[in-house]
Amino acid sequence: ASASSSNYIKNIMIEDLNTGKVNTIVTRFPPEPNGYLHIGHAKSICLNFELADEFGGRTHLRFDDTNPVKEDEEFVRSIQEDVKWLGFEWEQLYFASDFFDEMYERALRLIRKGKAYVCDLTAEQIRETRGTLTQPGQESPYRNRSVEENLDLFERMHKGEYANGEKVLRAKIDMASPNINLRDPVLYRIAHAHHHNTGDKWCIYPMYDYAHPLEDAIEGVTHSVCTLEFADHRPLYDWVVQECEMENVPRQYEFNRLSLTNTVMSKRKLKLLVDEKVVDGWDDPRMPTISGLRRKGYTPEAIRTFCREVGVVKTNNSVVDEKMLEHFIREDLKLKVPRTMAVLQPLKVVITNYPEGQVEMLDAENNPENEAMGHRQIPFSREIYIERDDFMEEPVKGYFRLFPGNEVRLKHAYFIKCENVIKDADGNITELHCTYDPETKSGSGFTGRKVKGTIHWVEATQAVPAEFRLYEPLILDEQAEEGDSFLDNINPKSLETVQGFVENNMRGAKPQDKFQFFRHGYFNVDSKHWAEGRPVFNRIVSLKSSFDP
Ligand code: ATP
Ligand code: MG
Ligand code: MG
C-alpha cells in the first residue's frame, strides 16, 4: 500500500530526507485505549503507516495509556485487532506507561533546573488564574518554591502522601505568554487508581502534553502527526523535548480531523451510544467504528482508499459525506463478490402451467462484469418467491413490473404472466397465480417479444430463510458531531429487520461472506447473529449512488 496522493506531511518528509535532517522516517499511531477505533483513527493509521512505508521507514503502535481511569484491556485488544485488520503491521508495540520511570526522572531534572514546581492550587483555581486570550494569567503563589522543596514535595506526591487533586507538578514557563498552553501547564497529577499495565505502582500520572513528546523522543519518532487542535500545543511539545534534554528531537505536524455526516466520532459520544444501548455494542454496524464497519461488511481496501482520498491538509477540519465512504465500498466489491438473488419481502407465486414436482436447474452467471467468477446453477420450479413490491394489483402509471395480465422477465429464468390474485378472508394478497412461457428461457436467444420489467425471485422449496438487516444513518442531523444534542436526534429507523429468502446455494454462507443481491445492494453475513444454515445479512450499501467524487 502506498500513499499515492500528495499531502503536505509527505512533502516535509521528502525535504527532511533530502536535507539529511533524518535518515529514516519513524512514525507512530498513538491511540488512547479508552474506546474502539473509528474511521477517523483509520485516517491517522493509514497516514502514519503508509507514509513510513513509502519511504522505507517504520511505524510503532503505541498505547497512550496515561489516564488509568478510562482505560481498559478490552480496548487494548480491539485496537490491535483493528490495526491488523486494516492491513498494517507495526514494527514495535509500546505502552506509554512503560516509560513512566523515565518520565519521572525527566521531571526531576526539570525541577532541578528550576523549570517545574509543585503547585497546591486546585484544578479550578488553576483554570481561574490562567487568564484569557487578551489577559495574562496570574502567577501561582507556589511558583517560587525552592528546588529542594519541590523535589521533596514531588517525591511525596509519588509516594502517595497526598489525595487526588491536592497537588500537581507544573512547568514553569510564562504566565504572560500569548499562548495559553505555555502558562505553566500541569505536567503531573495525582490519581490513586489501578492502571491496566502498571497496576498500583503509580499514583501520579503524566499529562498528555508532557508524556506525548517524551514518548515520541524515547521511541525515536521523527514525524509525530496529530490532529489540528494540537497545533497550539506544538510550542509546549518542543519545550518539553528541549528542557527534558531528549536526545532524539521529534517534530509535531498537524492534519485535519475527519468527521462524517450523520454520525459522531468522539469516543466519549460513541461510548454513550453503547452505554445507553442505542446500539448493540461498539461493533454495531451503525457505528463508525472499524469493528462496526467490518461487521457491516466494509473491507480494509475500501477504508484505506477512502482515507487516502479524503485528503490531508493543515487547514480546516472536514465533514465528509457518508456517501463518499459508500462509494468506495461499492467500487471495491463490484468485481469481487457474486451477484445472487434474495427476496426480502416474500410473496409466493405459483406457476400453474409448470409441471408439479419438477425442478430444473438454470444457469446463472456469478458476475457479468467479471467473467472469471464463473457460473452457478439455480433451481426453478412451480413455486417461487418474488418481492412483494414487484407486484401491484392496480399499477400506477409507469409501473412495469408484475400486475394482473402483465408479463415480466424472471432474472435468469422465464417470462411469467400474472393470471390470478389470491387473497385471504381479510383481502390480503397471499399468493399470485402466474403462467410461464417455456420459449422465453433465459439464454435461449428468444426474441419473439419484449417485456419492460425484470424482477428477481427465489425457488420456494429450496429457498433458505434469511434475515436481512437494513440500515439508515444513526443520527438524523448531518452535523451530528457538533454540540451534544446527538442523543436527541437518533434515527428511529436506523435499523429495519426483515425476514425473507436467499438462493439455496447461500445455505453455507459464513460470517463476512459478501454478496451483491440483485437490485438490493451489497450484503455481508453478520458475525453476531449468524447461525449455521440460517444466515443473517447486513446491508452494506444499496446499489444506487448519489455521490460522484
Ligand atoms: P477522541 O476525541 O474521539 O477520544 P482522540 O483523538 O482523543 O479521539 P486518540 O486515541 O488519542 O483519540 O487518537 C489516536 C490518534 O488518532 C491521534 O493521533 C489522533 O490525532 C488520531 N485521531 C483521532 N480522531 C481522529 C479523527 N477524527 N480524524 C483523524 N485522526 C484522528
Ligand atoms: Mg487523545
Ligand atoms: Mg480522547
ipTM associated with this complex: 0.96
| pLDDT for the residue numbered 147 | 98
Position 310 scores a pLDDT of: 87
Q: What domains does the chain contain, in order, with CATH numbers?
A: 8-255 (3.40.50.620), 346-462 (2.40.240.10)
Query: Which residue's CA lies nearest to atom 10 of ligand 1?
Result: 31
Comparing 158-172, 359-373, 482-496, which segment has the lowest mean pLDDT?
482-496
Cα(273) to centroid(ligand 1), Å: 18
Over residues 102-107, the mean pLDDT reads: 98
28 C-alpha to center of ligand 1: Å?
13
Q: Over range 95-109, report the average pLDDT.
A: 98
What would the DSSP string read from start to end of 91-144?
Answer: SEEEEGGGGHHHHHHHHHHHHHTT-EEEE---HHHHHHTS--SSSPPPPPTTTT
Residue 374: what are its φ and ψ, rounded to 5°? Answer: 75, -160
Of 462-466, 477-481, 544-548, where does mean pLDDT reach its minimum? 544-548
pLDDT of 90 above 60: yes
pLDDT tens-digit map of 186-229: 999 999 999 989 999 999 999 999 999 999 999 999 999 999 99
Cα Rg for the chain, rounded, in angstroms? Answer: 31
Q: Whose CA is nearest to atom 26 of ligand 1?
A: 40
3-state secondary structure of 448: coil
Query: What percent of the chain stands above pLDDT 90?
Result: 90
Index of the ligand 1 atom closest to the CA of residue 30? 14
Residue type, 262: N
pLDDT of 501-515, one tens digit each? 999 999 999 999 999
Question: What CA–CA distance (Å, rounded) separates 350 from 197?
Answer: 65
pTM of the predicted model over 0.95: no
486 neighbors 480 (Cβ within 8 angstroms): yes
Condensed to tens digits (0 to 9), the pLDDT of residues 300-309 reads: 999 999 999 9
Residue whose cell numbers read 407486484: 391
Angle between helices 300-310 and 322-333 (to 10 degrees): 130
Q: How far apart are CA 197 and CA 191, in angstroms?
A: 15
Confidence of residue 315 (pLDDT cuts 50, 70, 90): low
∠ CA 179-215-152, nearest 5°, is: 75
Question: What residue numbers does the annotated binding site cover?
Answer: 32-34, 38-44, 64, 208, 227, 257-258, 265-267
* Across 12-16, 364-368, 518-522, 545-549, least confident range: 545-549
Mean pLDDT (the chain) is 94
40 lines ligand 1 (CB under 6 A): yes
Residue 12 pLDDT more than 80? yes
Kindly give the distance from the C-alpha atom of residue 308 to the centroid of ligand 3, in angstroms, as a whole number.
Answer: 23
266 ligand 1 Cβ < 6 A: yes
- Mean pLDDT (whole number) for 377-402: 97
CA atoms within 13 A on the CB side of 10: 19
DSSP sequence for 281-330:
STT-TTS-BHHHHHHHT--HHHHHHHHHHH---SS--EEE-HHHHHHHHH
Q: Per-residue pLDDT tens for 126-179? A: 999 999 999 999 999 999 999 999 999 999 999 999 999 999 999 999 999 999
pLDDT at 319: 85
Residue whose C-alpha is closest to residue 349's, from 419, 396, 454? 419
The answer to whether the beta carbons of residues 78 and 291 sit under 8 Å apart is: yes
At residue 9, does pLDDT exceed 70? yes
Torsion of CA 512, 513, 517, 523, to 10 degrees: 0
Residue 493, pLDDT score:
95
pLDDT attached to residue 3: 42
Q: What is the pLDDT of residue 281?
A: 96
Q: pLDDT for 13-58, tens place per residue?
A: 999 999 999 999 999 999 999 999 999 999 999 999 999 999 999 9
Q: What is the pLDDT of residue 6?
A: 60
Provide the pLDDT for residue 549: 40
Nearest CA to ligand 1 atom 13: 31
pLDDT of 548 reads 43
